[in-house]
C-alpha cells in the first residue's frame, strides 16, 4: 500500500472530490498561486484554475460567510483557514450562519461546507498562533467536527465531510502534516462520527484524537514496559462523538484517561469524561482522569510551551493514578 503524508492525504481527498463534483471549490488565503501556506493545496490551482481554487484577501469573516452563502444555494465549498487561530475572526459566520441555517429555515436550507485548516499548538508561535480550539466548535449543534490523526483517516474523513450536507469543521495540525501512513489506492470513505480502537489493551482506556494521539500511543508503549496494558481509542470525530466505542472499552478496562490538548474547562475532554462517568459509573474502578493543556495561554519559550501540553509523562502519571499505582 502506498505510504503518504497527512498533507498528501488531505490534498488527495480535495483533488478527488473536486474531480468528481464541480460544485466543490477551495477558497482561502494563499491556497491557489502560493499552493497553500503549508502546501496542502499544492497543484490544485494548476489543475483546476482560478474558478475553483480561489485566493482571498485576508478577510476571514468575509470569505467564510461567502462560502456559507454559496453553500446555501448549491455549491459545496471547502474554506481553508490558514490556521484555526484565524477562524476566530469568522466564528460568527460559522456559528450563527452555517450551523443554524438548516434549523432556522425549518429544514429548507442545508449548508454543505467544510471549514478546514491546522488547529492546535505548533512550535515557537506564542499565544495567538498556537492554541487548540476544538471546544469552540464541538460545542455547537448544527456543526460536525472531525479531527483525524492518520493519513488514512484524514483522507477518508475529509471526503465524507465534503459529501456531507452539514457544515463540517475539519481540524488538522501543522505538526501532523508530515506524518506518514498507509493509504490505499482508490476510493474509500471514513464515516464521520466513528471512533476506533488503535491499540487493544485490558488495563486502562486512554482516549484521544488528532495530534495528541501520537503521545497517547507513546505513553501506551511506556506503560507496557511497566507491565500496564493500555487500550488506546482514537475518537476521529468530536461531533457526532462516538462515546459508544469509548464506553465499550471502559466496560472492559474499568479505567479511563482522556487526553485532549485543549484547555481543560468546558472541553471535549471534560465532556467525554462526564459521558464516561455517567454511562460507565458501575464499571469504573476509579474516577476518570483528564490530561489537558495547562490552563494558560501558550507561552513562546520552548521549554514552557512543551510543559503546557499533554506529554507521555503526564499521561503515564494519570494512568497510574486511575490504577492506584502512584509511586
Partner 1 sequence: MAKNADLKAYGRELTAKLLRDMVLMRRFEEKAGQMYGLRKIGGFCHLYIGQEAVATGAVAALDLARDYVITAYRDHGHALACGMDPGALMAELYGKATGCSKGKGGSMHLFDAPRHFLGGHGIVGGQIPLAAGVAFKIRYRDEGGVVLCFFGDGAIHQGAFHESLNMAKIWKLPVIFICENNQYGMGTDFRRVSAVHDLHAMGCAYGIEGRLVDGMDVLAVYDAVREAAERARADGEPAFLEARTYRYRGHSMSDPAKYRTKEELQAYKEQDPILILKARLEQAGWLEPAAYEALDAECKAVSEAAAAFADQSPEPPLSDLYNDVLV
Q: Where on the chain is the footprint of ligand TPP (CB under 6 A)?
A: 29, 58, 60, 82, 86, 89
**Is the CB of residue 253 less than 8 Å from the CB of residue 202?**
yes
Half-sphere exposure (Cβ direction) of 70: Cα atoms closer than 13 Å: 19
103 binds, among ligand TPP, partner 1, none (CB under 5 to 8 A by kind): none
Nearer to partner 1, 60 or 164 (CB): 60
Minimum CB separation of residue 37 from ligand TPP in Å reads 7
In the set 8, 29, 60, 172, the catalytic residue is 60
Minimum CB separation of residue 90 from ligand TPP in Å reads 9
Distance, in Å, from the CA atom of 116 to the CA atom of 9, rounded to the nearest integer, reads 14
Q: What is the dihedral of CA 270, 275, 277, 283, to 10 degrees?
A: -140
By Cβ distance, which residue is nearest to ligand TPP? Answer: 86
Phi, psi of 239, rounded to the nearest 5 degrees: -155, 115
| CA distances from residue 283 to 250, 278, 302 in whole angstroms, order as listed | 7, 10, 40
294 binds, among ligand TPP, partner 1, none (CB under 5 to 8 A by kind): partner 1
Q: Is 218 a catalytic residue?
A: no
**Is the CB of residue 152 less than 8 Å from the CB of residue 182?**
yes
Nearer to ligand TPP, 89 or 224 (CB): 89
Nearer to partner 1, 122 or 219 (CB): 122
Tell me the three state secondary structure of residue 61.
helix
Strand 196-199 relative to strand 53-55, pairing: unpaired
Nearer to partner 1, 58 or 104 (CB): 58
Q: Is 60 a catalytic residue?
A: yes
301 binds, among ligand TPP, partner 1, none (CB under 5 to 8 A by kind): partner 1
**Is the CB of residue 23 less than 8 Å from the CB of residue 67?**
no
196 binds, among partner 1, ligand TPP, none (CB under 5 to 8 A by kind): none
Nearer to ligand TPP, 58 or 104 (CB): 58
Minimum CB separation of residue 61 from ligand TPP in Å reads 9
Burial of 66 (0-12, 13-18, 19+ CB in 10 A): middle
126 binds, among ligand TPP, partner 1, none (CB under 5 to 8 A by kind): partner 1
In the set 30, 129, 139, 218, the catalytic residue is 129
Minimum CB separation of residue 244 from partner 1 in Å reads 35
DSSP state of 94: I
Minimum CB separation of residue 210 from ligand TPP in Å reads 21
How many CB atoms sit inside 10 A of residue 165's CB?
12
Q: Which residues bind partner 1 (CB under 8 A)?
A: 29-30, 33-34, 37, 55-62, 85-86, 88-89, 122-129, 294-297, 299-304, 307-308
**Is the CB of residue 173 less than 8 Å from the CB of residue 200?**
no
Mind telling me the catalytic residues?
60, 129
Amino acid at each position: 500500500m502506498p505510504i503518504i503524508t497527512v498533507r498528501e492525504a488531505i490534498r488527495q481527498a480535495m483533488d478527488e472530490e473536486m474531480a468528481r463534483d464541480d460544485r466543490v471549490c477551495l477558497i482561502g488565503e494563499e491556497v491557489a498561486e502560493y499552493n497553500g501556506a503549508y502546501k496542502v493545496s499544492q497543484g490544485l490551482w494548476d489543475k483546476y484554475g482560478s474558478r475553483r481554487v480561489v485566493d482571498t484577501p485576508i478577510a476571514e469573516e468575509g470569505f467564510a460567510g461567502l462560502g456559507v452563502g454559496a453553500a446555501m444555494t448549491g455549491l459545496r465549498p471547502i474554506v481553508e483557514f490558514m490556521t484555526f487561530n484565524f477562524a476566530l475572526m469568522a466564528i460568527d459566520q460559522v456559528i450563527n450562519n452555517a450551523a443554524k441555517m438548516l434549523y432556522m429555515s425549518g429544514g429548507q436550507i442545508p449548508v454543505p461546507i467544510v471549514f478546514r485548516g491546522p488547529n492546535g499548538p505548533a512550535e515557537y508561535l506564542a499565544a495567538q498562533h498556537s492554541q487548540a480550539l476544538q471546544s469552540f466548535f464541538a460545542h455547537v449543534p448544527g456543526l460536525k467536527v472531525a479531527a483525524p490523526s492518520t493519513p488514512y483517516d484524514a483522507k477518508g474523513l475529509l471526503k465524507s465531510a465534503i459529501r456531507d450536507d452539514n457544515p463540517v469543521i475539519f481540524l488538522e495540525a501543522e505538526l501532523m502534516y508530515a506524518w506518514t501512513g498507509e493509504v490505499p489506492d482508490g476510493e474509500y470513505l471514513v464515516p464521520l462520527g466513528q471512533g476506533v480502537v488503535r491499540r487493544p489493551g485490558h488495563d486502562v482506556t486512554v482516549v484521544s484524537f488528532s495530534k495528541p494521539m501520537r503521545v497517547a500511543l507513546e505513553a501506551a508503549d511506556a506503560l507496557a514496559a511497566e507491565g500496564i496494558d493500555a487500550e488506546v481509542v482514537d475518537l476521529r470525530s468530536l461531533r457526532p462523538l462516538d462515546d459508544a466505542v469509548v464506553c465499550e472499552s471502559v466496560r472492559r478496562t474499568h479505567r479511563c484517561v482522556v487526553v485532549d490538548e485543549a484547555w481543560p474547562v468546558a472541553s471535549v475532554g471534560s465532556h467525554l469524561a462526564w459521558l464516561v462517568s455517567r454511562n460507565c459509573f458501575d464499571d469504573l474502578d476509579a474516577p476518570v482522569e483528564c490530561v489537558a493543556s495547562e490552563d494558560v495561554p501558550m507561552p513562546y519559550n520552548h521549554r514552557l510551551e512543551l510543559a503546557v501540553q499533554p506529554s507521555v509523562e503526564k499521561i503515564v502519571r494519570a494512568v497510574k493514578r486511575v490504577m492506584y499505582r502512584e509511586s
